[in-house]
Amino acid sequence: MGFDVSFGFEQIAFLLTAALTLAAALAMVFSRQVFHAILLMIAVFVGVATFYVLLGVSFMAGMQLFIYVGGVSVLAVIAIMVTRGFMGSDRPRPARTTYGAAIVAGSVFIGLAWLILRVPWPTVPLVAASENDLALLGQVLVSRAGFVVPFELSSLLLFVVLLGALYIARER
Amino acid sequence: MVPLSWYLLLAAALFSIGLYGILARRNLVMILMSLELLLNAVNINLIAFSRYLEEGQTIGRVFALFVYVIAAAETALGLAIMIAVWRTHQTVAVDEIDALKG
């Protein structure tokens, strides 16, 4: 099962961060005010970045902060400021839909947790975290044996998406 | 280190919360933000698997970076569609946007 671990600094840090992140996520999906939900979403993103630090992949933590906290959140805030009169509260759905959604989400979680707990996952990583393997990551990303085609395609995708977003959102 | 199963359970919980948000909220922005929760949960899984089970420690991170790209594209397009819908309908509640005509 993997629960017979001693509680050191890392375990306590993980549990604290997990509690904060999940509480922020729950508060986000239940929040009536859209603006509050955005602030809570930023809290969730920072929490996820903390998990990357705990995992020892600080590059991904930096990317998480850059892209999500710095990019996606600012985009969301600006888009909402642009559409005036929209920051107000969200009228709730009928209770039937909410209960249905809660049942679906709860059963997905229970099913996933059941599957996860059936497998004897490792409790320690296969190899020790390397201090600086960014060069390796970059080589994998742009080598022909690695991921150069999806890498270039993703830049094309971003270009097309930004043009498309400008076209869709333009003043008519 | 923390056992891998803790990260998997955390990601499963985050995924379920995002799924609830997508199904239960009416506001288009709330649905987009819940979608970001799903993508974050997937990224936690990818990076945790890469950290614990992968010899080279790179492929999981590469996939997570591509997920970032897709997430940024999805957010930009989603918000652009939201602004366009707001201009024409003066609402962003998904159950009131039910006309297919432009």
pLDDT digits (tens, 9 = 90+) for A9-58: 889 999 999 999 999 999 999 988 888 888 899 999 999 999 999 998 88
Which residue in chain A has the smallest CA separation from B14?
A22
* Reported ipTM: 0.90
Put simply, whether A35 touches B (Cβ < 8 Å) is no
Task: Answer yes or no: is A1 within a domain.
Answer: no
Number of domains composing chain A: 3
CATH code: domain of residue A73: 1.20.120.1200
Per-residue pLDDT for A149 more than 90? yes
- Predicted pLDDT at A131: 67
Helices B4-24 and A9-30 pack at an angle, to 10 degrees, of 10
Examine the domain organization and report whether A85 and A14 are in the same domain: yes
Examine the domain organization and report whether A82 and A99 are in the same domain: no
Q: Concatenated DSSP letters for B25-81?
A: --BHHHHHHHHHHHHHHHHHHHHHHHHHH-SSS-HHHHHHHHHHHHHHHHHHHHHHH
Percent of chain A with pLDDT over 70: 88
Examine the domain organization and report whether A113 and A134 are in the same domain: no
- Predicted pLDDT at A51: 94
- According to DSSP, the residues that pair with A33 across neighbouring strands are A89
| Residue range of the domain that includes A38 | 7-90
Distance CA A72, CA A93 (A): 26
Examine the domain organization and report whether A110 and A135 are in the same domain: no
Examine the domain organization and report whether A114 and A152 are in the same domain: no
Confidence of residue A1 (pLDDT cuts 50, 70, 90): very low
Examine the domain organization and report whether A70 and A107 are in the same domain: no
Distance CA A25, CA A22 (A): 5
Q: Which long-range contacts (CB under 8 A, 24 or more apart) does A144-151 make?
A: A146/B62, A147/B62, A147/B66, A150/B66
Helix (H) or strand (E) holding A76: helix A73-82
Query: pTM here?
Result: 0.89
Note whether A140 contacts B73, CB cutoff 8 Å.
no
Examine the domain organization and report whether A115 and A132 are in the same domain: no
Q: B45 or A88, which is more confident?
A: B45
Task: Answer yes or no: is A54 within a domain.
Answer: yes
Task: Answer yes or no: is A80 within a domain.
Answer: yes
Examine the domain organization and report whether A38 and A108 are in the same domain: no
Distance CA B91, CA B94 (A): 8
| Mean pLDDT value across residues B79-96 | 82
Examine the domain organization and report whether A162 and A103 are in the same domain: no
Note whether A109 contacts B62, CB cutoff 8 Å.
no
Note whether B1 contacts A98, CB cutoff 8 Å.
no
Shortest distance, CA A41 to any CA of chain B (angstroms): 7
Note whether B51 contacts A129, CB cutoff 8 Å.
yes
